[in-house]
């Protein structure tokens, strides 16, 4: 399985090139929320996507029939298709599938139409709400626009959704069910009910006085994650098919592993045993040894328990060599995209391999003694990356891991 296309809509850039430039420079996309009035909210910050125009990708009429999370997915998918130089026609449409994960799906549309329901009555609720609010709305619209007639669905596994979508696309190709898959994650959760809910379980940072310093993965002063929105999408292909059509091969997707903690609704299992098993599973499925890993893109949420657990997982799997592996927490700059996090961080992992650069973990100024690995603090670093891991660990105990390596025919 190879990666031939990448697409991203992010808080620090509306495509992969601008996003990558910002990440390498250590720029933060966190700022005060503009989507709604936060006067009564404890948390007033988020990583919003700024300047996104869905009409760059689809007509105004079609854009108005999409929730924001679907608009992001369509934009990122069309970017990935263009990068892959992919043409979908009658000859290959049945061999092309779409799997795009998310967590909170069309809550923006639901919220807007609920207000209509309460103020104007049930007959005034838009009939387009039904296919707009569902979890599969993004994958369906991408399938329609691309003309992809293969498998099409939307996994939802909290913060692991995007990672699982890519991993399940890997399985579809491995099993011979498809030759091309468009996969990743998308999310648009910056709205009052979501911010209030996550704030009330004390998961969000409330460092409102300086938004760009709020997200501090692995730092002793971290106090929660920063909500974000956007999408990260990949085109995956059977290697032989990609080479036959002359596609640009950006990386190989070597392995995928997934487990569950079966421990708690929100907290990760303290011993990290299930998460470590997911990492080992991804390595074993890809026939990759722990000694080969040159880089890790961490889940790194900047929550107290998650960062310590992930540090312990990395130590458990990689032993003493764990201290030699550069680790980036992309969320320090782009925030936590919930169901899209695994998708966009997989894209970032492939970009890191391509450019030979590990992006920084910004705001890491007071290291936590229990988080004592090399998190590439504050400044990006040139490093040879032949093989890399992307971790996603979600609420509910979802553990999902991808392993990428440079493609060698």
- pLDDT digits over 296-313, tens only? 999 999 999 999 999 999
Residue 299 appears among annotated catalytic residues: yes
Residue among 195, 174, 205, 185 nearest 108 (CA): 195
Q: Pairing between strand 381-382 and 31-32?
A: unpaired
* Mean per-residue pLDDT of the chain: 97
How distant, in Å, are the alpha carbons of 180, 185, 258, 283, 383 from that of 403?
19, 17, 12, 7, 17
End-to-end CA distance of the chain: give it in Å, rounded. 12
Residue 379 appears among annotated catalytic residues: no
- pLDDT digits over 29-86, tens only? 999 999 999 999 999 999 999 999 999 999 999 999 999 999 999 999 999 999 999 9
| Rounded (10°) CA dihedral 380, 390, 160, 316 | -110
CA 168 to centroid of chain Cα atoms: 15
Contact 48, 34 (CB under 8 A): yes
What are the structural domains, with CATH classification, of the chain?
2-405 (3.40.47.10)
Q: Give the residues across from 327 on adjacent strands.
A: 296
Residues 234-271 as b or e (16 or more Cβ within 10 Å = b): bbbbbbebbeebebebbbbbbbbbbbbbeeeebebbee
Of 96, 163, 215, 336, the active-site residue reads 336
Q: Is the pLDDT of residue 169 over 90?
A: yes
Q: How far is Cα 69 from Cα 64, in angstroms, rounded to an integer?
A: 12
Q: What is the pLDDT of residue 155?
A: 97
pLDDT band at 266 (very low <50, low <70, confident <90, very high): confident
Residue 159 appears among annotated catalytic residues: yes
Q: If you average pLDDT over residues 113-133, what whole number do you get?
A: 96
Q: What is the pLDDT of residue 195?
A: 97
Of 105, 299, 371, 398, the active-site residue reads 299
Neighbours of 327 (CB within 10 A): 24
* Sign of torsion over alpha carbons 390, 396, 397, 400: negative
Of 96, 159, 163, 215, the active-site residue reads 159
Q: If you average pLDDT over residues 328-335, what whole number do you get?
A: 98
CA 223 to centroid of chain Cα atoms: 21
Q: What is the pTM of this model?
A: 0.97
Residue among 47, 97, 37, 104 nearest 70 (CA): 104
Q: If you average pLDDT over residues 253-263, what whole number do you get?
A: 96
Q: Is the pLDDT of residue 270 over 90?
A: no
């Amino acid at each position: 399985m190879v990666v031939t296309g990448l697409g991203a809509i992010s808080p620090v850039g509306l495509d992969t090139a601008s996003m990558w430039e910002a990440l390498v420079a250590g720029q933060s996309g966190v700022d005060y929320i503009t989507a709604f009035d936060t006067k009564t909210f404890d948390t007033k910050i988020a990583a919003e996507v700024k300047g996104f125009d869905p009409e760059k990708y689809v007509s105004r009429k079609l854009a108005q029939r999409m929730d924001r999370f679907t608009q992001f997915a369509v934009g990122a998918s069309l970017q990935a298709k263009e990068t892959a130089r992919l043409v979908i026609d009658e000859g290959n449409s049945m061999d092309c599938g779409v799997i795009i994960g998310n967590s909170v799906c069309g809550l923006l549309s639901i919220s807007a139409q609920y207000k209509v329901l309460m103020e104007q009555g049930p007959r005034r609720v838009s009939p387009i709400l039904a296919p707009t609010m569902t979890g599969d709305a993004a994958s369906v619209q991408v399938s329609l626009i691309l003309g992809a007639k293969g498998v099409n669905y939307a996994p939802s596994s909290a913060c692991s959704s995007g990672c699982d979508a890519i991993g399940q696309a890997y399985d579809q190709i491995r099993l011979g069910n498809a030759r091309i898959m468009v996969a990743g994650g998308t999310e648009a959760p910056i709205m009052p009910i979501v911010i209030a809910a996550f704030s009330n379980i004390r998961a969000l940072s409330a460092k409102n006085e300086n938004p760009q310093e709020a997200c501090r993965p692995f730092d002793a002063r971290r106090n929660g994650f920063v909500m974000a929105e956007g999408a990260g999408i990949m085109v995956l292909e059977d290697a032989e098919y990609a080479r036959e059509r002359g596609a640009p091969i950006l990386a190989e997707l070597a392995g995928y592993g997934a487990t569950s903690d079966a421990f708690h609704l929100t907290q990760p299992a303290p011993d990290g045993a299930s998460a470590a098993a997911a990492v080992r599973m991804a390595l074993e499925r890809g026939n990759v040894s722990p000694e080969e890993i040159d880089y890790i893109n961490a889940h790194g949420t900047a929550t107290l328990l998650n960062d310590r657990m992930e540090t312990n997982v990395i130590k458990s799997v990689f032993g003493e060599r764990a201290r030699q592996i550069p680790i980036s927490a992309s969320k320090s700059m782009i925030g936590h995209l919930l169901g899209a996090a695994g998708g966009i961080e997989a894209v970032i992992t492939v970009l890191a391999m391509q450019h030979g650069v590990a992006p920084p973990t910004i705001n890491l100024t007071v290291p936590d003694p229990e988080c004592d690995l090399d998190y590439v603090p504050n400044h990006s670093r040139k490093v040879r990356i032949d093989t890399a891991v992307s971790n996603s660990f979600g609420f509910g105990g979802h553990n999902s891991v991808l392993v990428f390596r440079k493609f060698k025919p």
